[in-house]
Amino acid sequence: MSEDQRDAAGIAPDTTAGHVEEVEISGHIIDSLILPKILDCITSAGGTFRIKNISIGQARSDSSFALVEVRAEDAGQLKEILAQISDHGAVPTETHDARLTEADVDGAFPEGFYSTTNQRTEIRIGGSWIEIDDQEMDCGVVLSSDGPSARCLPMTEVRRGDQIVTGHTGVRVFPYEREVERKTFEFMNSGVSTEKPKGVAIREIAAEIFRNHASGGKTLVVGGPAIIHTGSGGHLAELIRRGYVDKLFAGNALAAHDVEQAMFGTSLGVHLEGGQLAEAGHEHHLRAINRIRRVGSIPAAVEQGLLTSGVMYECVQHNVDVFLAGSIRDDGPLPEVETDALVAQRIMREKCRDVTLVLMIATMLHSIAVGNLLPAWVRVICIDINPSTVIKLSDRGSFQTVGLVTDVEPFLRSLVDDLTKLETASSAITSRSR
């Protein structure tokens, strides 16, 4: 309609003229607040929107749909808005294949590369949508050279000639949504649990771990040395003996002080039974590390009878997949510790692929590092006396994290007790059904 026609019809002038794109949003976009988030992104970036069509699901299991017209003053602003809202699942109605650019140097993406989130993502190639493998935040996307497949690729692993996705065209994200039938974590679904009854939260965590184990899922424990310092090593060892721990990520400190405790009864030179400082106790962890280094490895120390108890001992005895990543602070370190940060990151990334539940206990930096490697659909439980640990995880994109602010020892003690009750109840049900 021309301006004269608009005037004749009494229609106000169009003050939002500019560059326009229509996008579709579908899923649980209302109750998961995805639609409001997208609309807020549009207006915050200086654009405007008009909801052209919307269909709201009536039941909890029903999806909703919205067709939204996005307007901006110029093409650059519109492109920026579309890039922002695409990460929340907004897909342009006019679809095109993803743009591919050949990497021109090793160890760096081409300019304008698509930066991934930890949410399920697809790219359009040859008119078909394909799901990206190895989903991980803060990576790029590389197209396979031997077929229509793509995967997330860390920057350091880019090789010259790789076909890298650039821009947001031909990319669609499926945002993490509220579980339609949430069976666990009803109590903790607000994120960080601080002043809530700890017993209820721990029972829910125990139930989640129990179900994960019973269904054949794999549980990863990311542990800090406070597990040993607080006298909680025995509780973790019990979880390992019962088969609830499939993988353990830690630093040199947890393993070193666990071995120290097994050999000297101390952690950081303090007797765990009585709490008194041992004479020359500050040397104990060094002597423990030295003994392990002399025989070559922790498994060798177990085999030779040098190491007869503790978390590391139980990991060897029950075939737990242990990976220790080092830091600049490490004494020794133990022979198993990987001191190259990039190699450690690569190994952790591979070991996380089949994990279905992660329990992070009293280790901020290690927890954040692992959180960055996980897709959004892997459940993460963070236990720490410091609430900022859980907050930092969420702030850095691991929003699937639920946390409990408490001391390590009472948590692990209660967790073992609650798992015992669940085992007893499960055995009783099994016996009655026979």
Which tokens in the block code for residue 274?
A: 């009585």
User: What local confidence, expressed as pLDDT, does residue 415 receive?
Assistant: 97
Cross-strand partners of 361: 223, 383
- Domain extent at residue 141: 95-178
Asked whether the predicted pLDDT for residue 189 surpasses 70, the reply is: no
User: What local confidence, expressed as pLDDT, does residue 434 receive?
Assistant: 67
Q: Three-state SS for 237?
A: helix
Q: 307-317 pLDDT, tens per residue?
A: 999 999 999 99
Q: 47-76 pLDDT, tens per residue?
A: 999 998 888 887 777 778 889 999 998 888
**Domains identified in the chain, total number:** 3
Do 357 and 424 lie in one domain? The reply is yes
Asked whether the predicted pLDDT for residue 4 surpasses 70, the reply is: no
Do 232 and 283 lie in one domain? The reply is yes
Cβ–Cβ under 8 Å, residues 289 and 324: no
Do 345 and 320 lie in one domain? The reply is yes
Here the CATH number for the domain that contains residue 202 is 3.40.50.10690
Do 53 and 90 lie in one domain? The reply is yes
- Please give the share of the chain, as a percent, with pLDDT higher than 90: 61
Do 61 and 76 lie in one domain? The reply is yes
Last residue of a domain, one of 134, 151, 178: 178
Asked whether the predicted pLDDT for residue 3 surpasses 80, the reply is: no
Alpha-carbon separation of residue 78 from 21, 54, 81, 85, 147 (angstroms): 8, 22, 5, 11, 33
Confidence of residue 141 (pLDDT cuts 50, 70, 90): very high
Say how many residues make up the chain. Answer: 434
Do 144 and 272 lie in one domain? The reply is no
| CA gap 2, 5 in Å, rounded | 5
Here the CATH number for the domain that contains residue 113 is 2.40.420.10
| CA gap 174, 403 in Å, rounded | 24
Q: Three-state SS for 280?
A: coil
Do 143 and 166 lie in one domain? The reply is yes
Do 224 and 292 lie in one domain? The reply is yes
Do 129 and 173 lie in one domain? The reply is yes
Cross-strand partners of 67: 24, 53
pTM, to two decimals: 0.81
Burial 168-183 (b: 16+ CB within 10 A, else e): bbbbbbebbbeeeeee
DSSP string, 286-310: HHHHHHHHHHSSHHHHHHTTS--SS
Residue 187 placed within a domain? no
User: What local confidence, expressed as pLDDT, does residue 190 receive?
Assistant: 46
